[in-house]
A and B are shown apart, each in its own frame.
Chain A
Amino acid sequence: MNVQFELNGRLVQTEHEPGTTLMELLRSRELYSVKHGCDHGECGACTVLMDSKSVNACLILVHTVSGRKIETLESFSDHKTMHHIQDNFLHEGAAQCGYCTPGMILAVEALKREGGEIDEPGVRDALNGNLCRCTGYVKPVKAGLSTTKASRDKENAGGDS
Chain B
Amino acid sequence: MKVIGKDTQRIDGQALVKGNPVFADDIKLNDLLHVKILHSPVAHAKIINIDVSKAQALEGVEVVFTHKDFKPHYYTTAGQGYPEPGPRDMRILDSKVRFVGDRVAFVAAETLEIAEQALGLIKVEYEELPCLFNVEAAMTSDIIIHSNPDKTGLHDATHNVAAHLDAEIGDVDKTLESSEFVFEGTYSTPFVQMASIEPHISLTWLDENNRLVIRTSTQVPFHVRRIVAEVLDIPVGRIRVIKPRLGGGFGGKQEILNEELVAAVTLKTGKPARIEYTRAEELFAARLRHPELVTFRLGFDKDQILTAIDLNILENCGAYGPHALTVMSVTAQKALSMYKAASIRVNGDGVYTNLPIGGAYRGYGAPQAFFPLESLMDEAAETMGIDPIELRLKNVFKVGDDIPIAKILGEGREGFPMVLYSTEIEACLKEGRKLSDWERLRSEPGSGRYRRGIGVAVAGQGSGIPGIDMGAAFIKMNEDASFNLQVGATDLGTGSDTALAQIAAEVLGVSVEKIIVYSSDTDMTPFDTGAYASSTTYISGSAVKKAAENCKTMILEQGRLLLGNQAAEIDGTFVKDEQGQSISFQDICIKSFYTEEQKQIMGTASHMSYDSPPPFNATFAEVEVDTLTGTVRVIKIVSVTDAGQIINPKMAEGQIEGGIPQALGMALSEFMPFDDKGRLLNLDFNSYHIYTARDMPELVVRFANSHEPTGPYGAKAVAEIPINAPAPAVTNAVYNAVGVRIKHLPIRPEELLGAMNRNGAN
Contact = CB atoms under 8 A, between A and B. Distances in A.
B268 interface: no
B320 interface: no
Given A36-B276, A43-B685, A96-B658, A134 B248 contact: yes
B344 to A, nearest CB: 34
Given A40-B685, A131-B197, A99 B248 contact: yes
Interface centre among B246, B651, B661 (most CB of A within 10 A): B661
Interface stretch (B156-164, B225-233, B689-697): B689-697
Interface in A58-105: 72-74, 76-77, 82, 86-87, 89-91, 93-102, 105
Nearest to A93: B650
| Secondary structure dominating the interface of B | loop
A135 B701 CA distance: 12
A99 B690 contact: no
B197 A132 contact: yes
Contacts of B14: 82, 90
B581 to A, nearest CB: 42
Nearest to B696: A137
A43 B691 CA distance: 11
B654 A93 contact: yes
Contacts of A73: 18-19
B154 to A, nearest CB: 33
A135 B657 CA distance: 6
A99 B493 contact: yes
B59 to A, nearest CB: 15
Interface string A90-129: 1101111111111001000000000000000001110110
A97 B243 CA distance: 13
B28 A86 contact: no
A36 B199 contact: yes
A113 B311 CA distance: 57
Contact of A86 (B17, B495, B651, B657): B17
A136 B692 contact: no
B257 interface: no
Nearest to B19: A33
A153 to B, nearest CB: 20
B734 interface: no
Nearest to B495: A96
Contacts of A102: 19
A125 B694 CA distance: 7
Given A130-B693, A135-B654, A86 B197 contact: no
A38 B16 contact: no
A119 to B, nearest CB: 13
A22 interface: no
Nearest to B686: A42
A41 to B, nearest CB: 9
B658 A134 contact: yes
Contact of A39 (B245, B278, B659, B661): B278
B503 to A, nearest CB: 18
B13 interface: yes
A95 B13 contact: yes
B569 to A, nearest CB: 37
Contact of B28 (A30, A36, A98, A140): A30
A90 B9 contact: yes
Contact of A124 (B276, B684, B694): B694
B189 interface: no
B684 A32 contact: no
Nearest to B196: A133
A74 B15 CA distance: 11
B658 A40 contact: no
Contact of B245 (A33, A77, A98): A98
A86 B196 contact: no
Given A90-B14, A97-B198, A98-B12, A42 B684 contact: yes
- Interface-central residue, A39, A42, A99, A105, by most chain B CB under 10 Å: A99
Contacts of A30: 21, 28
A138 interface: yes
Contacts, number: 173
Contacts of A97: 16, 196-198, 245-248, 492-494
A141 B12 CA distance: 20
A144 to B, nearest CB: 9
Contacts of B16: 95, 97-98, 101
B197 A138 contact: no
Given A73-B19, A97-B493, A40 B686 contact: yes
B150 to A, nearest CB: 38
Contact of B17 (A35, A89, A125, A141): A89
Contacts of A127: 692-693
Interface string A21-63: 0000000001011011111101101000000000000000000
Contact of B13 (A45, A90, A100, A131): A90
Given A128-B694, A131-B690, A136-B696, A32 B26 contact: yes
Given A38-B684, A133-B195, A99 B23 contact: yes
A143 B588 CA distance: 43
Nearest to A17: B113
Contacts of A131: 197, 685, 690, 692
Contacts of A130: 693
Contact of A101 (B7, B19, B250): B19
Contacts of A133: 194-197, 248, 250, 658, 662, 690
Interface in B643-694: 650-651, 653-654, 657-662, 684-686, 690-694
A140 B693 contact: yes
B17 A105 contact: yes
A37 B696 contact: no
Nearest to A134: B658
B129 interface: no
A86 B17 CA distance: 5
B25 interface: yes
A33 B699 CA distance: 29
B358 to A, nearest CB: 19
Contacts of B701: 138
Interface in B1-52: 7, 9-10, 12-23, 25-26, 28
Nearest to A100: B197
Interface of A: 30, 32-33, 35-40, 42-43, 45, 72-74, 76-77, 82, 86-87, 89-91, 93-102, 105, 123-125, 127-128, 130-141
Given A43-B197, A128-B694, A138-B654, 15 more contacts: A33-B20, A76-B18, A90-B17, A93-B7, A93-B654, A96-B654, A97-B245, A97-B494, A98-B12, A99-B248, A125-B694, A127-B692, A134-B654, A137-B692, A139-B654
- Which are the 6 A-B pairs with shortest beta-carbon distances? A97-B493, A33-B19, A98-B16, A99-B247, A42-B685, A136-B657
16 contacts: A38-B684, A39-B278, A73-B18, A76-B19, A82-B14, A90-B9, A95-B17, A96-B495, A98-B22, A99-B23, A99-B196, A105-B19, A123-B693, A128-B693, A132-B693, A138-B696
